[in-house]
Structures are given as structure tokens and as C-alpha cells.
Chains A and B, each alone.
Chain A
Amino acid sequence: MKQILILCFFFLLSQNSSFAQNVVFSAQASATTIGIEDRVQVDFTLENIEGIQGIQNPNFPGFKVLGGPYESRSSNLYLNGNQPVRSTSLTLSYVLQATQIGDITIPPLSAKDGNGKVYQSNALKIKVVKGSLAQQRRQQQQSADPFAGFDPFDDPFFGGNGGGGDPFAAMRQQMQQLQQQMQQQMQQSMGPAQNLPQVTEKELGKNVFIKVSVDKTKVHIGEQITATYKMYARVNMQAQLSKLPSLNGFWTQDFELPKDQKPQYETLDGVQYQSFTLKKSALFPQQTGTLILDAAEANGVAQIADRSNPYGKNVQFKLKSAPVNITVTPLPIKDQPTDFSGAVGSNFMVKTKIDKTSLSTDDAATLTIDISGVGNIKLIGAPKLNLPNGLDAFDPVITDTITGRSTTISGHKIFSFAISPSIAGDYEIPAIPFSYYDPAKGSYTTLYTTALKLHVTQGTKVKKEIAGNKLLSDLNNIDTKPLLLQPSNGTLLYSKAYWSIYALTFIALLLFAWRKKQKESEANNQGLFKNKYANKIALKRLKTAKTFLDKKETIPFYEEISKAIWLYLSDKLNIPLSQLSKETALESLRSKQITEAQLSKMYLIIEDCAMALYAPSGAAQQMNSTYNDTVQLIGELEENLKK
């Protein structure tokens, strides 16, 4: 189908041919007897109706439409005697399913052509029976063929139609019908053969063939070759191109063929043929080595003489052109200009244009380089601009136009560069060289454009390339200081030493606090101990004092009394004896809220002791009262200091 479509486009050139053609408008069904569960395909084929204006929408009484219309067009060209004849065909396909049992008639369809003439198709009769015929057929097939049940193309559109398990049967059938029709038409139009060439089937190859001719087979890369695909024939035949050459490795530009192409008469090796140009192209090889112009292929039917049939007989044939080898050599490297960008051809011209010569840094100018000439226009690479610093060019926009395609390919290639200045100033864009290789001369030619001047003023907009307050115009230079071996300095946070400082400090602090606490509590304990036993020691001393009192020994008595008091105070107040004096003791006692009366009593006792020790007067009465007072005082103090 694709090939037919290609053909259709290919032969559109000759669409104005106005030869009389047989008009056909037919309706066909894929089966004439179907089951009610089966699907049937109905095709309406319109052939050779010029400029179809409208086709009536078909109605199918007794059927429901499952799919369609599917439209397919084809176009065909064949030689009828000496005339090329074009035929067109349009097929509308519907997939239907019956809704009732019995004989159903599909009414004829009408269509109107460009001249207002109305054509009508035939009516179709379809017999609908119970159940599914397709399934029955398939089951029969299945019993014979174990694989039939696994039909991979079991498609709803084709699964049920007359062809049984074969999904393409309908299509094939349709094609065959068309072919038969065409053959009939051919025979009718040709009438009895009068002068059929006396050729046999074996000699057909000499009488119909496709030939490729090229103007040269050895070229440089990029050099033009003109290739012509022609069909030669000495017999009545019709043919379709089934494969166009793909021409890999070439850039191809087709030449225009005359619209109304008449067959030419050409003599090859003394034999006259009709020739018909299928394709004429300019080829530009893009790679070196041996490139092959691959074959064009065609299928067709030829009419040759046959003794038993006055109309001759139709023989199918396949045509294939012989491939042609092209040797492509590289361009000479010697003297190749550095700016060469692949242009091969002749008569090249280069022009530059700039749309403005004065602009601001906010603006952009467009520099256009127009290369015109004859050759591989499409394959020319962009020329290099050597812009001064401060001007920037973006990738060019490239347009190429082919203006002439008679025997050579000529045209323009236009490169548009947008140039944006970044710094104000006066610039000169130097002349741009453009080189091409001229195969006729066998040498390179370099053309130069004229240099352009550009005046740039400072714009108002701040450019984004400003870093800090510095306008960046060019790179900062490289770092040439001696290379520091940077053992990628570690991350402190990830090092064990760092965290061990925290840990050690913390532990040290804890230890220190604990030690301090312990010391304190030790000292405290000692004080507490003394405090606790102060009373007992004092009482012990008082006991000894009592014995001295009984013996009336004055000095030892007072010694004991004063010792009892001082030691008691020292222990109770937690003041070492060396630091203890009347004043410190009084102060300390005051802070512990001892009443003044007690204090004065204590003061008196201490005075008495001192007096008695240093000036003994020795009254037993006084000793007695001192003793009593001391016992009372210690008792009272004990009471108060306990709190």
C-alpha cells in the first residue's frame, strides 16, 4: 500500500494527462453468504472519477456498521500503446454485521464528480444465515491444522469475514478483483492486437528495463553527480515502481521533471525504445569510498504475442536496475585553506551585511553572511567569525534556498549571527574568509568579505555578567603560584581529637567537682563530730574540775574550767584554738543568735577564770558558783547551738 502511495505522489506530476479512461464505480462484499454472528467487509471502489465532489453516505438496512469508512487511494500509471495513462482509485471500506436473517440488499451508492455528473454503484445482495460460518470454517480447519486456532491476527475487523482464518484474505481478494478489472479494461481499450512485438517471455528482460545513467562515476567528495533513472520499453506494458533507490551517503536534490511527460524515443544498440524518466537527481556524495546507487525496482504486466490468443497474453515481470558504483575520493589536502568548511562547486559569491553599525550594549546586531553559488549548497558549514573581545556571537540561524535545479543545483545559504556587545567601544569585525573547492579547476578558491565597523555605546541596562562591581570581559588569568599540596584539610567536626577535648574537659570538670565535694564533706564531718562530742568533753572536764573543787585546789580547778569552755567553743564554733579569742568567739556566737545574757555570763566566767589563774584569791564560795555557772552556761549553749 505504501508503495502505491509513493507511486501516487511520484506520478502526481503527470496528473493533467487527459486521456480517456474507464470510469468504474463498484460495490463488493467480502462474502455473499455470512452468518449473523460474522462480520462482512463492503468496499465501494471509485476509479478514474476526476475531482469527486461528494459521495452519498451509504445506508445499510439490516446491518450495523462496526467500522469505517476506511479510505484508501491509489494512483497508477501505465503505458497504453504509446501513451502514458494514469488511473486513480478511491476505495471506501465498511465493516458490517447483520442484524437479521435472510437475503439483504445493500442499495446502490451515488457519487458526483467535478463536472456534476452522477455515478451510481451496483447493488449488493448478501445472504445471512444463522450462527457463524467463519467459526464453522475455522473449526474444520482446526481439525486439520493444529496451529490454526492460534491465529495471531485474530482481529475483530477481519476475524469473521469470508476468508476464514486468514485476516488478509479480504484484502487479497479485493486486490485480485481490482487487478482483473484492470486487465479487462486494458484488453478492451487495446482491442485486438495488431502489431504486438514478437517476443517470448524469456526475451522480456531485453524489452523492458530500468536503466540508471550517471554523468560521472569518479568524483571528489561534495562534487555533483547527475543520476537519471529511466524506464525503457518496447512492449505494451503497465508497471508500478515498487522501490525507489534510497541513495545512502548522498545529499540528493531532485530535478524538476516536465509536467506532461511524453515518452521519448531513444535508440540503444540499434533498437528503438520508448523511454520514460522516473527520477533525475543531483547527488552530492558526503563520504569517501565506493558508494552504490542502489536499484530502483518495479512490478508490471506486459502484453506479448501468443499464438493461441489474438489479444496476446499478459506476462507479469519484475524489473530491477543494475546498481552503479561511484568512487568518491577525498578533496586534496594540499593547499586546503584552514577555513574550508566543505563547499564544493563553482561561481560562489559571498556577501556580508550588518543591520546596524551603531548600537548600545543593551542591543544586538544581526550579521548576515550570504553565500550563493552552484554546488552542494546544503552541505556548507558556517564560516568562523573572529570577533574581537567584547563582542559575542550566538550560533547562527541558517537558511538555505535552492533557486535553480535545471542541470546544476544553485542557490543561497544564509547564516545570520546575532552579535551582542558587552563593552562599549569601536570594533572592527575582520574580513571573513570563505573557501570552496572548484572541481572543474581542481583547486581551492578563497573569497573574503569586507571588514565591518561597529560602534558600541554603553547601554543603560546592567549586564548580568557583572561580578562585584567588575565588568567581566575576559577570563581571569590562570593561577601560576606554586601548587600547594593541599591534603584536603580535614573536617574538625569529624575528628576524634576534637570530640575528645569536649569529653576530657567534661570529665575533668566532673572529677574536680566531685573531689571538691568530697573534701568539703570530710571537713564538714570532722566539724560535726567535734560538735557532737564537744558537750561530752566539756562535761568530762567539768567532772575533773568538780574533784578539784572538792579538794579545794583552786588553780587546777580554774584551768579545767577555762579549758572546758575554750575547747567547747572551739569545737562548737568550728574555730581552731589558735584563732580563738574572746572577740572571735563572741562574734561567732552572736551570729548564731545567742542572747546577750548568756554572752555576758560566758564573758564573766572567762574573766573569772583568767583572774583566778593569774591572781589566785581562792574563795571556795566563788569556785562553787563558777562551777555552777559553767555547767549552766554549757547546758544553755548546747541547747541553743544544737538548732
Chain B
Amino acid sequence: MKQLLLFLSFLLLSITSMAEQNKMPQLWKKANDYYLQKQYDSAISYYHSLLQQNPANPSLYYNLGNAYYRKNMVTEAVINYERALFFNPQYKEAQENNLLAKSRIPNAIKPIKDIFFVRWWQTLTSGHWANTWAVLGILLFLALASLIFYGILKNRLRQIAPQVFVLLPIIILIALFIAYKAAYNKNNCHLAVVNSKNAVLNNVKSTSVPEATTVLVTKREGNGFLVTLPDNRTGWMRQSDLTFVQISTKK
């Protein structure tokens, strides 16, 4: 009896959630139609209402960014492209549009390219690869385990080269470490976008930072944030001048 009740309630729940989801394709189509008809304001409001149920969808952020770009709201566009890229770092269209939007920033700060190995490391630890690394780690671990299993079974443990038992665990640990970093990057984003025309970077002296610049936040103290600009300058900025790419702190 109890199980039946549980089952029924589960069914009810799934039906209601399905009903909500059923509305979504229509809203999505409507929003996109508005966009294509160049009614960007309406499109934006529809995208926003979709976001409330779907807060982690890169396509949604990407389309919203495009709508803002069309409205010449470069800052909003950049924020939404960055969000799309946070949820899907390999989003090619979003990357390109983000670049295009950033090229519209007057007096934009020219980004300095990191050294090749830093870039490699960033690619390896990108949130996109978090699960790949985790799977790699577990596969290697299972391989090691089955090797040991076989060795014990056949009394041949001594015959396996001892280097295997040193190298394989090290490789597994490295894979897990990278997986850990990537998982952190996947769930945390420290990027923020400057949202004010009068934003100022305070260091030894104050310099103005153009609106829509993406900065990396490394530390927080009260209402101040320690940030790194695209050209690797660092300094403090006010909280009110920044919009964070990650909406809530923890999902």
C-alpha cells in the first residue's frame, strides 16, 4: 500500500514537472522568433523567464547575449556570453561573439596571452574535462586493481615489473588531482564583468577600467575585490562596479 502511494505521488510529480517543461519549447521558439523579427526587448524578457527554470543552459545565455548585443548593450552581452562559456567552455559561437562584443569596448584593455604551459594547464583543468579526468582516473585504478588481482590469482605477482606499481599509482594520483582542479573550475567561476562607466582599479594609483572588461577575482575583503585585469595588472575594485559571471555561489 505504502509503495503504491509512493509510486502514485512520484507519477504526479513527474507529470507536473513535465507540464512545466512542455511550455519551455514554446517559450524558446517564441523568444527566438522575436529575436529573428528584431524585437529584441521582447526576446530578452522571454529569455529571462526561461532562465528562471533553466539557470544552467549555455544556449539560453548565448541567445540572450546576442539579443543584448543587438540592442548595443555590450556589457550585458559580455556578461551573458561569459555565462554561456562557463557552462560550456567549448561553445565556439559564444567564444567568437564574446570576442566580437569585446572588440566594441572603447579603449579596451588588450589581453596578454599567457605562457604556453599556463595555457595548457588551463585547458587541461577546464571544467569541461572534469568528468573525463575522473573517468580516466578510475579506469587506470581498475586496471591496476585487475593486474594485482591477476597476479595474486596466478601467483605471478613477483613476475610483474615493480615499476608498474610505482608509476601507475602516480599517474592515477595526477589524473585525480587534475580532475579535482577541473571539478573546482566547473563549479566555481571567479570571472566578473565591469558594469560601470566609472569603474576604477585602485592600486598604487587609480586607473579607470573600461566598462564590459572581464576581470578575474582572486580575493574579497568587505566591499572590495582583488582583481586581475586581462593585461595581468592587479588591484582592488568596488563590488558595485562588478557583475559576477557565476550567479549563485554554490549550485
Whether A467 and B99, one on each chain, are in contact in the complex, defined by CB atoms closer than 8 angstroms, is: yes
Confirm or deny: A480 has a beta carbon within 8 angstroms of a beta carbon on chain B.
yes
A476 and B91 alpha carbons, distance in the complex (Å): 12
Confirm or deny: A491 has a beta carbon within 8 angstroms of a beta carbon on chain B.
yes
> Which stretch of B2-10, B147-155, B218-226, B233-241 is in the interface?
B147-155
User: Given known contacts A472-B99, A493-B180, is B141 in contact with A478 (CB within 8 Å)?
Assistant: no
User: Given known contacts A467-B99, A488-B87, is B69 in contact with A475 (CB within 8 Å)?
Assistant: yes
A513 and B70 alpha carbons, distance in the complex (Å): 66
In B5-46, which residues have CB < 8 Å from any A CB?
Answer: 21, 24-25, 28, 32, 35-36
Residues of A within 8 A of B57 (CB): 483-484, 486
Whether B149 and A512, one on each chain, are in contact in the complex, defined by CB atoms closer than 8 angstroms, is: yes
Whether B60 and A475, one on each chain, are in contact in the complex, defined by CB atoms closer than 8 angstroms, is: no
Minimum CB distance partner of B91 in chain A: A479
Residues of B within 8 A of A516 (CB): 152-153
> Which stretch of A76-84, A252-260, A497-505, A586-594 is in the interface?
A497-505
Whether A472 and B63, one on each chain, are in contact in the complex, defined by CB atoms closer than 8 angstroms, is: no
In B94-145, which residues have CB < 8 Å from any A CB?
Answer: 95-97, 99-100, 103-104, 106, 110, 130-131, 133-135, 138, 141-142, 145
Confirm or deny: A152 has a beta carbon within 8 angstroms of a beta carbon on chain B.
no
Confirm or deny: B54 has a beta carbon within 8 angstroms of a beta carbon on chain A.
yes
Whether B50 and A483, one on each chain, are in contact in the complex, defined by CB atoms closer than 8 angstroms, is: yes
In B35-89, which residues have CB < 8 Å from any A CB?
Answer: 35-36, 50, 54, 56-60, 62-63, 66-67, 69-70, 87
Confirm or deny: A470 has a beta carbon within 8 angstroms of a beta carbon on chain B.
yes
Minimum CB distance partner of B172 in chain A: A502
Whether B183 and A491, one on each chain, are in contact in the complex, defined by CB atoms closer than 8 angstroms, is: yes
Whether B28 and A482, one on each chain, are in contact in the complex, defined by CB atoms closer than 8 angstroms, is: yes
Confirm or deny: B231 has a beta carbon within 8 angstroms of a beta carbon on chain A.
no
Whether A464 and B141, one on each chain, are in contact in the complex, defined by CB atoms closer than 8 angstroms, is: no
Confirm or deny: A1 has a beta carbon within 8 angstroms of a beta carbon on chain B.
no
Residues of B within 8 A of A463 (CB): 103
Residues of A within 8 A of B100 (CB): 465, 472, 474-475
Min CB distance B143 to A, Å, is: 11
Whether B99 and A465, one on each chain, are in contact in the complex, defined by CB atoms closer than 8 angstroms, is: yes
A392 and B105 alpha carbons, distance in the complex (Å): 11
Minimum CB distance partner of A422 in chain B: B103
Residues of B within 8 A of A501 (CB): 138, 142
User: Given known contacts A392-B104, A491-B183, A492-B130, is B63 in contact with A478 (CB within 8 Å)?
Assistant: yes
Within 8 Å by CB of A513, from B32, B69, B152, lies B152
Minimum CB distance partner of A480 in chain B: B32
Minimum CB distance partner of A465 in chain B: B103
Minimum CB distance partner of B56 in chain A: A488
Residues of B within 8 A of A472 (CB): 96, 99-100, 103
User: Given known contacts A472-B99, A491-B131, is B93 in contact with A394 (CB within 8 Å)?
Assistant: no
A482 and B62 alpha carbons, distance in the complex (Å): 14
Within 8 Å by CB of A483, from B25, B69, B138, lies B25
User: Given known contacts A464-B110, A482-B28, is B145 in contact with A491 (CB within 8 Å)?
Assistant: no
Residues of A within 8 A of B187 (CB): 491, 494
What is the size category of the interface that chain A forms with chain B?
A: 35 or more
Confirm or deny: B212 has a beta carbon within 8 angstroms of a beta carbon on chain A.
no
Confirm or deny: A533 has a beta carbon within 8 angstroms of a beta carbon on chain B.
no
Confirm or deny: B156 has a beta carbon within 8 angstroms of a beta carbon on chain A.
no
A476 and B66 alpha carbons, distance in the complex (Å): 8
Question: Using an 8 Å CB-CB cutoff, how does the interface string of A423-466 with B read, 1 for contact, 0 for none?
Answer: 00000000000000000000000000000000000000001110
Residues of A within 8 A of B28 (CB): 482-483
Confirm or deny: B251 has a beta carbon within 8 angstroms of a beta carbon on chain A.
yes
Confirm or deny: B245 has a beta carbon within 8 angstroms of a beta carbon on chain A.
no
Question: Using an 8 Å CB-CB cutoff, how does the interface string of A374-412 with B read, 1 for contact, 0 for none?
Answer: 000000000000000000101100000000000000000
Residues of B within 8 A of A512 (CB): 149, 152-153
Min CB distance B42 to A, Å, is: 14
Residues of B within 8 A of A480 (CB): 32
Whether A479 and B135, one on each chain, are in contact in the complex, defined by CB atoms closer than 8 angstroms, is: no
Residues of A within 8 A of B106 (CB): 394-395
Residues of A within 8 A of B138 (CB): 498, 501-502
Whether B152 and A479, one on each chain, are in contact in the complex, defined by CB atoms closer than 8 angstroms, is: no
Residues of B within 8 A of A597 (CB): none
Confirm or deny: A153 has a beta carbon within 8 angstroms of a beta carbon on chain B.
no
Whether A467 and B62, one on each chain, are in contact in the complex, defined by CB atoms closer than 8 angstroms, is: no
Confirm or deny: A485 has a beta carbon within 8 angstroms of a beta carbon on chain B.
yes
Whether A485 and B135, one on each chain, are in contact in the complex, defined by CB atoms closer than 8 angstroms, is: no
Residues of A within 8 A of B87 (CB): 486, 488
User: Given known contacts A502-B141, A513-B152, is B63 in contact with A479 (CB within 8 Å)?
Assistant: yes
In B152-191, which residues have CB < 8 Å from any A CB?
Answer: 152-153, 176, 179-180, 183, 186-187
Min CB distance A229 to B, Å, is: 37
Minimum CB distance partner of A472 in chain B: B100
A-B contact list, 26 entries, CB within 8 Å: A392-B104, A464-B110, A467-B95, A472-B96, A472-B99, A472-B100, A478-B62, A478-B66, A479-B59, A480-B32, A481-B59, A483-B54, A483-B57, A484-B57, A485-B54, A491-B134, A491-B186, A492-B131, A492-B179, A493-B131, A493-B133, A493-B183, A494-B187, A508-B145, A509-B148, A516-B152
Top 9 A-B pairs, shortest CB-CB distance: A488-B56, A492-B134, A476-B93, A493-B183, A479-B59, A465-B103, A478-B63, A483-B28, A492-B131
Chain B residues close to A by CB (< 8 Å): 21, 24-25, 28, 32, 35-36, 50, 54, 56-60, 62-63, 66-67, 69-70, 87, 93, 95-97, 99-100, 103-104, 106, 110, 130-131, 133-135, 138, 141-142, 145, 148-149, 152-153, 176, 179-180, 183, 186-187, 251
